[in-house]
Amino acid sequence: MQPSSFRGAVAPLSRLVAVVVLALAAALVGPAPTARAAVGLTKVTDFGANPGQLNMYVYRPASLPAEPAVVFALHGCSQNAQTYADNSGLPELADRHGFLVVFAETTFSNHMNKCFNWYQSTDIRRGQGEAASIRQMAAHAVSAYGADAGRTYVTGLSAGGAMTSVMLAMYPDVFQAGAVVAGLPYGCAGDVMAALKCMDPGVDLTPDQWAKRVRDAHPSWSGPWPRVAVWHGDDDPTVVPLNADELRDQWTALHGLSQKPTRTSVIGPNSTRHEEYAAADGSVAVEVNRVPKIGHATPVDPGSGPQQCGSTGTVNFRASICSSHWIAQFFGLTKPFEDDRLPAPAGLAATDATDTTIRLSWNAVDGADDYVVYRDGDPDPLATADATSYTDTGLTAGSSHTYAVAARDADGRTGRFSGAVTARTTGATAVCWTATNYAHVQAGRATTSGGHTYAKGSGQNMGLYNTFVTRTLRESPVGHFTVADGTCG
């Protein structure tokens, strides 16, 4: 989490702070991320009022029940929606348990380090700035995707965790629960220098003082307050672990609870210390999870086990415990749902690709009247097929597309979605791009993590993320870039 000024001129001191933090991150960064298949996200460009100038991306699992729950995910500094989707494990959990995920994304135009502005008064008040944009996304998820307004949740890492606190404090009528990962309590800071103090060494207030900051910012609300889960690494040098205690104090006080846990236990493969603070009805209103031997990161546990998820593909995701699994469980999303729809078609395959077409085929489903084909995560069907095959036409040479298919019964009810398959058309011509690492990231040819730049597709390390390093990238097929200094002609 790297606070600096936002939108417009950057104060000299805050610029210096940001540059120093980024330089340290570059010096400490480990090996380059391993190239991996990107999660398919759908960008939503018209979700309504957007005073915070944020981007909205949606992950819609292939099998989704009617009126699904929706989880909002807020990335950390220097990240973006795609990075958070690829590594946090939330899409895996969405596939497993049938809920929608919305990834809100901030940009360089909002903050020079792509942090959510969790300490700027114009972005953390109800009806203003970034907070209002995220709230509008929640309304759009209900109207456009049929999400259940009564099961809307939010989680985030670092600056995204601090912004999660904002959303829970300012919109308790929208979010039923939230999970703050390596974040801070609401109202801790109102400017850059105060933000740095909150992060390290931290600000110690009484529970009543923390609760008052929320109530004063939203005086018309008297409850009920959202349920809150706190996740924090014991070795976090960026946002010190004291903040986990202050978050606990703020939300237990708002719920009228003691700061002494009702129950304590250990969870996960690394014996994370788990504290529960129960309401009068026995439900857990607040929980705190203290993760041993982990720094400033989202805890993940790669694998296919029932409690595993996520990837350590970037430095802000550390192997330890699948926090997203436990967060989904805290939200009440891990219970299986009844589904009596037609089964998913098996054997979906993409074959016989040409420069402009991809042919799909799949196995028949008993009871199917016809089939619907979906492409690239679009919630609207691409086509309807009477048989067990379909040819997608009019595509761009060298382009990559992801497909899923579902059977429909005689009543027109869509069954469960098949597993996805990805295929590329043939005939792409390589294109070369020479620019600074900064320009490559801005143009979407590369990503940045921990102060370094990585080519999209190949994941190759291009060096420091700045305007001084110039590299040549070769694009082939479309959207896949490799480093080609001196060899691309």
Residues designated catalytic: 158
CA distance to 85, 152, 154, 177, 217, per residue, from 174 (Å)? 23, 7, 10, 9, 16
| CA distance linking residue 32 with residue 455, whole number of Å | 10
CB 243 within 8 A of CB 158: no
The DSSP symbol for 301 reads B
- Sheet strands (E) in 304-394: 317-319, 349-351, 358-361, 370-375, 383-385, 389-392
Q: Would you call 225 helix, strand, or coil by DSSP?
A: coil
CA distance to 69, 136, 216, 337, 376, per residue, from 418 (Å)? 21, 31, 49, 17, 14
CB 393 within 8 A of CB 356: yes
Residues with Cβ within 8 Å of residue 203, at least 6 apart in sequence: 188, 197, 246
466 φ/ψ angles, rounded to the nearest 5 degrees: -160, -175
Q: Is 21 left (phi over 0), alpha (psi -120 to 50) or beta?
A: alpha
**Selection from 288, 373, 358, 327 nearest residue 74 by Cα:** 327
Buried b (16+ CB within 10 A) or exposed e, 435-458: bbbbebbeeebbbbbbbbbbbbbb
Q: Amino acid identity of 48?
A: G
Beta strand 370-375 with 400-408 is antiparallel
